[in-house]
Structure 1
Amino acid sequence: MKETALTGEPDGARAGKTRGEPQPDHVVATPGHDSPFRFERQRNELRFRVLRLALRTWITPQYVRLRLEGMDLAGFDSRGADDHIRLFFPSTEIGPSEVDGFRNSPSRDITPLSWDAEEGWLDVELTIHPGAGVASPWAADAPIGSLVGQGGPRGSKVMIGRPEAWFLAGDETAVPAIRRFLADAGADATGMVLVETEDAQHEIPLAAPKGVTVEYVHRDGVAAGLALSARLDRITAAERLAGTVIGFVAAESSVVGPARALLLDRWALRAEAVTARGYWKRGVARYDEAH
């Protein structure tokens, strides 16, 4: 097991190999069967696992990928790009058999990025907020070999079929879901991706099909969500992507209104094809506990 400072895209299993429930401030539904794509809800077997930190990879100065390992991952699956699992961070050192100790520890919801259940590894990515909460300090500083509890995903929203175009937007907390959507899009996909980051130094590399444009929106010191909201507000009806479009926007909760205005009003997408979610809210520590 080792720690590295390399950057880049997920390796090994697909972003999701053998790859939740709606949260506050969101719109999410299921297209009808006459659409080229639809979503189906899938319930997953609930199991609690204890995993070991095996690798830490810094993508930017405040964004890190963690590899968690453990044979408990046998049977793990996550078929929805926007799925969430929960990680439990014990404040004191406890043994792998002390399951109740892990269950009672502070926890955080995140999107699983990639895994190989047979080989027993799971990759996740987290944004580091120095001095905030329990997940950030653990993700940044926990010694290699540290133990963490893991549960979920409780359910998956599985895409059946494919849209003709993809509109994906979010801040750093949405990047794992955006990565997974892009991995599923296919080499011939068309679309647009917007990612809000602090500045150019904090841009997170994304692998996208040739027909999908990726644009970074910089906060440059303004409050989270404002830069992305302003960019969404500037997109006109004439810029609507052609064909049947999936719209996914997830970031600080203030982006939900501008996302709805763009996707549901100006672009007139069906509500069933749109997800607009507040993954977190400024000043509210346990708003959604996601990312």
Structure 2
Amino acid sequence: MLHEHGVGGRWAARAPLGSPVGVGGPRGSMLIEGTARGWFLAGDETAIPAIRRLLAELSTASPHGAGLVLIEVPDEAHRPVIEAPPGAELRWVHRGAAPAGSALVAAVDALTSEDRPAPTADPAEVFAFIAAEHTIVKPGRALVLDRWGLDPDRVVVKGYWRRGEDEYHAPH
């Protein structure tokens, strides 16, 4: 599927077949250091590559950790294959015709302290990554910092994109 908006989409729409493309990452700020007894990963389709990478990292670095993964997609037909390690609970959030990000926001808002992965672990031993449409930022931070009390140094919450803004670039 080609999205003909944004810098990358416009380039892809005009690039001749066989044009080289480079992909960089992850940035140093996205690397997990140490082990995590618990982890929470949430995102929409734009976050799936990062979630896959983090799941692979966490399954190696923290093989006995417990995790919760929420991924928003339009419907069951749009679910990609996700390899979840033992101890991971993968929950799909279907938005149907609702605006992208809205179902994930509702799912995050509905989580309670009982949903926190590794509830008996020190909050400093739990890692969280949340990335989706920009409206996820406030509810994501409210969940992991306020309700779950996680260490801000072990939390990444970002709006990868903003509805209606083709040129939006998430801050670092």
Query: Does TM-score exceed 0.5, indicating one fold?
Result: yes
Residues 63-118 of structure 1 show CA distances to partners (whole Å, capped at 9, x for unaligned) of xxxxxxxxxxxxxxxxxxxxxxxxxxxxxxxxxxxxxxxxxxxxxxxxxxxxxxxx
Identity of aligned residues (%): 44
What RMSD in Å do the two structures reach over aligned CA positions?
2.5
Moved over 4 A (4+): 137-144, 151-155
- Please say if 1:248 is aligned against 2:121: no
Name 2:8's counterpart in structure 1.
135
Which structure has more strand as a fraction of its residues? Answer: 1
The 5 A counterparts of 1:93-108 are none
Name 2:37's counterpart in structure 1.
164
Residues 11-30 of structure 1 show CA distances to partners (whole Å, capped at 9, x for unaligned) of xxxxxxxxxxxxxxxxxxxx
Name 1:192's counterpart in structure 2.
68
Residues 169-189 of structure 1 show CA distances to partners (whole Å, capped at 9, x for unaligned) of 001111111111111112433
Name 1:83's counterpart in structure 2.
none
Structure ID, larger Rg:
1
In structure 1, runs of 5+ residues without a counterpart are 1-61, 63-127
Are the structure 2 counterparts of residues 278 and 289 from structure 1 closer, same or farther at C-alpha, using a change threshold of 3 Å?
closer
For 2:23 and 2:57, how far apart are their aligned partners in 1? 24
Give the TM-score taking structure 1 as reference length.
0.51
Name 2:157's counterpart in structure 1.
276
* Secondary structure in structure 2 of the residue aligned to 1:159: coil
Q: Is the Cα contact below 8 Å between 1:225 and 1:252 reproduced in 2?
A: yes
Name 1:174's counterpart in structure 2.
47
Aligned residues: 162
Which structure has more helix as a fraction of its residues? Answer: 2
For 1:165 and 1:154, how far apart are their aligned partners in 2? 21
Q: Is the Cα contact below 8 Å between 1:237 and 1:266 reproduced in 2?
A: yes
Q: Is the Cα contact below 8 Å between 1:189 and 1:209 reproduced in 2?
A: no
